[in-house]
Structure 1
Amino acid sequence: MQAIVIVGGYGVVGAQIAQILRQSHGDLPLILAGRNPNQAQALLAELGAHTSAAAVDVLKPNPLAGLQPRAIINAVNDPHDYVLHEAVARGIPLVDITRWTARLQHTLNGLDRAALKAPLVFASHWMAGLASVVAVAATQQLAHTEQLDLHVLFSLKDKAGPNSIEYMQHLTTPFTITEKHQPREVYPYTEPQTITFPNGYRAKTYRFDTPDQWTLPQSTKAASVSARITFDDRLTMGLLLGLARSGVWKLLMHRRFDRLRHSLLYNPGKGAAHELVWQISGRDAAGNPQQLTKTIVDPQGQTHLTAVGAVIQLETMVGLDGSPALDAGIYFPETAPKLAYALERMQQLGVELN
């Protein structure tokens, strides 16, 4: 049986993807891939049989040379698209959880969809697309969806991989949202809204860029879609707001400040719950206004929730969920999985949905 190759398979998120797959599919061959496969030895011992490691350098062309994967999960940044290009050229199914909106749009513009020989699931949406999956499932009870508002509570005590801060790097870079069916340019960390999260924490949330805001208007026909975030430490949240609004952060974007900027944003803890709230408005078949609130809580944190999302995308892509594998083509998180399966699978893996 051909193996699932997890690029970045011994990193913070990749290791949890591998652990979930081993627990759920005991005989499924797994290859933990990365530039330093010796670092995978402890994880290999934990996962046991049917697991191996391989050297894969995403910074070099043809990084998967010598491997014959059944499918790939890419859990590290693919800055030159070498993993993507090889998957497309060789017809290997791919789940990618690393591309933020501008990169995703640029990537899709460069792909010849007619030439695709395998499914490509672009799931760099929030938590590998699980936020969007929950939103789309909720809209099934509406005849018309008017507004989808995502609010994220990010705990500074949570585990985090180094790639997790990419969306926070561009505090002064505008991005486009859909509002009343029209595009509108907004800036990160602006236009706050006050929200109460499931744990009782009440705070202002601020705009940030995520691909959900680009694909959900297409998949749900929602008139407006937004995403906002806050940190569970008010001092840190205030510091980031001050740096963004004063113009200091723009100066810090120079390459010589990379280490300083990284140290300000990347200080992972040992773990904490990750909490999301969807506020959804629309109308039922009779035209009556409807207001829905959906919450997602992963007690094991955002890296675990991301891993759960990546696993669900893989399972539905290659048929590990018991359904036929996806046909060749381009998919997003909310269009790839069967919604009922995805919701049930999330809860099986410890995610709390309300």
Structure 2
Amino acid sequence: MSISPILLLGGTGQIGHFTIQALRKRYPDLPLLIGSRNRQKAEQVAGALDNAEGVVIDPHADDLGLGQRPIGAVAVLYTDHRLASLRYAHARGIAHLGISTGLYEVAPEIAIHMQRPDTAAMVLGYEWLVGATTIATLTAAKAYSRVASIRIGALVDEEDWGGPAVTEDFERFTSVISSVLARRDGAFVWRKGEDAGFAFRAIDGTELTASGFSSIDIAGLAAVTGASDVEFGIGTGISSSRRAGGAKSTEIIIELSGLDDAGKPLRTRHAVFHPGGAAPLTALGISMVLERLAGLDGKPATEAGLFFPYQILEHGEYLERLTQEGGRLMALPCA
């Protein structure tokens, strides 16, 4: 079977590096286009790989400077302020994944999709670590007949803030809007100041303070579960693994409350853990989304539509691959 190449825009960065590793682990012969505005960087990365080509991206050109070459799917791993990659993919019916758009920035992207909603699949990959949070939360929520509240605390190790693109994203998010989205008592509200944060405990029980963050997970989880209270926060500190003398890792603490199948009150705590940190966990989600968009696994490629990652990924398969990488979804004791 002839497979068109996957185009990775920003493939020269840290997340691009781990995404390439994840894709090549399962599909060693998959052709890749490593896109960058820097020819030297693109060619350097591609030169170290088989069946890969470095390409210079022109965000001002309708064809991104790529001409008429076939593309299987597009992933943009940085903030594309011009939406050049989305316009390119949408005009040609190519499936597209973006991971760096802020919650308040989605309207222009959705507007492009709405003009021709039947042209290709478009994935809003802005969930925290591209599906890791939502898939784990929805898995934990299976124990409930009704979910009342969801509180998610993402622990980012002080040594694990990623590369320049990640830093740029967070600086933009915090400078443009000072309020933080949450759902309280069934209403979506914008919180400020001390009202925007909360405390949560890491895997090893250490208490941390989370600053509220307007993750699109809030909207997706509220829609799926109907939870009347949903909030998301990021805490920076020392991960539980590093505190125990090991290497940095990434943790996502998920606290749920509601009713069990018998109608009795239920509270649970779970954690998503990955020993490599945030970048390889993000790459796991990106690679699995691209797999589904392009039909690399032999199943039909994802049909046209607008999706979150958790809507097109098979949750059990995702958690199995997480375990294969040394991570896991674990149950934690409640206070």
Band of TM-score, shorter chain: 0.7 to 0.9
Structure 2 counterpart of 1:134? 136
Equivalent residues in 2 for 1:205-244, closer than 5 Å: 205-232=210-237
SS in 2 for 1:148: strand
Structure 2 counterpart of 1:97? 99
- Residue 118 of structure 1 deviates from its aligned partner by 1.2
* CA–CA separation in structure 1 for the residues paired with 2:224 and 2:116: 21
In structure 2, the CA distance between the partners of 1:58 and 1:13, relative to structure 1 (3 Å rule), is: farther
Unaligned runs of 5+ in 1: 234-270
Structure 1 counterpart of 2:153? 151
Instruction: Kindly tell me the number of residue pairs found equivalent between the two proteins.
Output: 316
Q: How big is each residue's C-alpha offset from its partner over 1:228-261, in whole Å with a ceiling of 9 and x where there is no partner? A: 111117xxxxxxxxxxxxxxxxxxxxxxxxxxxx
Equivalent residues in 2 for 1:231-310, closer than 5 Å: 231-232=236-237, 272-310=248-286
- Residue 168 of structure 1 deviates from its aligned partner by 4.6
SS in 1 for 2:54: strand
CA contact (8 A) 1:159 1:272 kept: no
1:277 partner amino acid: I
Structure 2 counterpart of 1:177? 182
Equivalent residues in 2 for 1:98-117, closer than 5 Å: 98-112=100-114, 114-117=116-119
Structure 1 counterpart of 2:16? 14
TM-score, normalised with respect to structure 1: 0.83
> Which deviates more, 9-18 or 173-182?
173-182
- Residue 276 of structure 1 deviates from its aligned partner by 1.1
> Equivalent pairs: percent with the same residue?
24
Structure 1 counterpart of 2:296? 320
Q: How big is each residue's C-alpha offset from its partner over 1:175-214, in whole Å with a ceiling of 9 and x where there is no partner? A: 4322222121112664433222114432222211111112
- Residue 45 of structure 1 deviates from its aligned partner by 4.0
SS in 1 for 2:105: helix
1:201 partner amino acid: T
Structure 1 counterpart of 2:83? 81
* CA–CA separation in structure 2 for the residues paired with 1:68 and 1:61: 15
> Which deviates more, 194-203 or 59-68?
59-68
Structure 2 counterpart of 1:167? 170
Over the aligned positions, Cα root-mean-square deviation in angstroms equals 2.1
Unaligned runs of 5+ in 2: 239-246, 331-335
In structure 2, the CA distance between the partners of 1:61 and 1:324, relative to structure 1 (3 Å rule), is: closer
Structure 2 counterpart of 1:40? 42
CA contact (8 A) 1:213 1:225 kept: yes
* CA–CA separation in structure 2 for the residues paired with 1:106 and 1:352: 36
In structure 2, the CA distance between the partners of 1:352 and 1:45, relative to structure 1 (3 Å rule), is: farther
Q: How big is each residue's C-alpha offset from its partner over 1:294-353, in whole Å with a ceiling of 9 and x where there is no partner? A: 111121111111111111221223333443321100000221211111111222233222
> Which deviates more, 76-85 or 98-107?
98-107
In structure 2, the CA distance between the partners of 1:52 and 1:196, relative to structure 1 (3 Å rule), is: same
Structure 1 counterpart of 2:25? 23
* CA–CA separation in structure 2 for the residues paired with 1:188 and 1:95: 33
Structure 1 counterpart of 2:315? 339
Structure 2 counterpart of 1:118? 120
Structure 2 counterpart of 1:203? 208
